[in-house]
Chains A and B, each alone.
Chain A
Amino acid sequence: MKNNVYIYIFIMAAVTYAIRVLPLTLIRKQIKNRFIRSFLYYVPYVTLAVMTFPSILNATQSPYSGAAALIIGIAAAWFGFDLFKVALSCCGIVLIIELFQ
């Protein structure tokens, strides 16, 4: 049986809001636990890295253009381009490569 899309959406919205609102309303003091602080600190980088590779290779028509987007994106971010320009460079290189395939 297929699940209801609106229940999925409700769960996504409710969980996302809970994550954002609970610390801001409940925490009025500094967090002391070193493990929790460290864990929370690393989570964003780990999640995003895990989601980026190897998925980016399957996002394009050929894995080569996906790999090129990854390399160009890393280079652009490394040299200090902002978020929008990094995203744009990734799109641009895929467009150029797939134009010649």
Chain B
Amino acid sequence: MNKKTQYHLSLTDKKTAFLNGLRDGIPIGLGYLAVSFSLGITAKNAGLTAFQGFIVSFFCNASAGEYVGFTLIAAGATYLEMAIATLIANARYLLMSCAMSQRMQNETPLYHRLLMACDITDELFGIAVARPGYLNPYYTYGAVVIASPLWAAGTALGVVAGNVLPLRLVSALGVALYGMFIAIIIPPAKTNKIIAGIIIICFVLSYTAGHIPLISEFSDGTRTIILTVVISAAAAVLFPYNADESKEVTQ
């Protein structure tokens, strides 16, 4: 219990932070429910059951990463391909985790770090780092407690109801996921011309890669990995990111 006295978090602090987290987690959870529903349709197409969809979402909490995973399962990819694709598709969480590591109170016990890492997503990371001062684990827990079950439940619902809904509605819900991706990449492109340019280059190269002989033979997942590594590395060499602006990453 020594750690708690060092760690300066009173019971009221914890409770207030937890309740604030719950409150902020509600809109995120509702958004998750809708988006993960469309992810569930992808899972269903890959041959997964509602239960399997639920556990993937419960344990992974990753939109793009799960989407890539489902397409690889559908394609019967190798386990190594799955590991690499998951690593690449979720690489941004590595960056977020790095950013969070810079905002942790030094004495924060290991078990808080282990738990806080479970659900680092764009939105939950965003609201956590938007708060001033050190990160409060209890705020994150409050938000996760509401958002994570909705994410998992939405995926299971998508698997179950995806084929009951009319084709037109499934088609409409299917773009929700892409809408989520767009909502993440466009706002920074508005203020950062380099990111805007890179997004255009990505679109062009991604389209081209699907039509070039040899490269088009690779699976979607592998093409995504190759393009991501090549374009990001080139961007890092040509436009090194200024460390002083690192606060912007947290958006």
Contact = CB atoms under 8 A, between A and B. Distances in A.
Contacts of A28: 101, 106
A59 B86 contact: no
Contacts of B228: 43, 46-47, 50
| Chain B facing A: main interface SS | helix
A46 B198 contact: yes
Given A11-B79, A37-B241, A83 B123 contact: yes
Interface residues of A, number: 75
A49 to B, nearest CB: 4
Contact of B56 (A13, A39, A41): A13
A27 B113 CA distance: 11
B1 interface: no
Contacts of A44: 91-92, 95, 184-185
Interface string A3-29: 101111101110111011111111110
Contacts of A45: 185, 188-189, 195, 198-199, 202
A68 B106 CA distance: 48
Given A23-B98, A84-B31, 15 more contacts: A6-B52, A12-B65, A12-B86, A15-B87, A21-B114, A22-B94, A43-B92, A44-B91, A54-B210, A73-B175, A77-B183, A77-B185, A78-B186, A86-B180, A89-B179
Interface of B: 27, 30-31, 34-35, 47-48, 52, 55-56, 59-62, 64-69, 72-73, 76-79, 82-83, 86-98, 100-102, 104, 106, 110, 113-114, 116-118, 120, 122-123, 167-169, 171-190, 195, 198-199, 202-203, 205-207, 210, 220, 223-224, 227-228, 231-233, 235-237, 239-241, 243, 246, 249
8 contacts: A3-B73, A15-B87, A25-B117, A39-B232, A39-B236, A48-B181, A73-B178, A95-B168
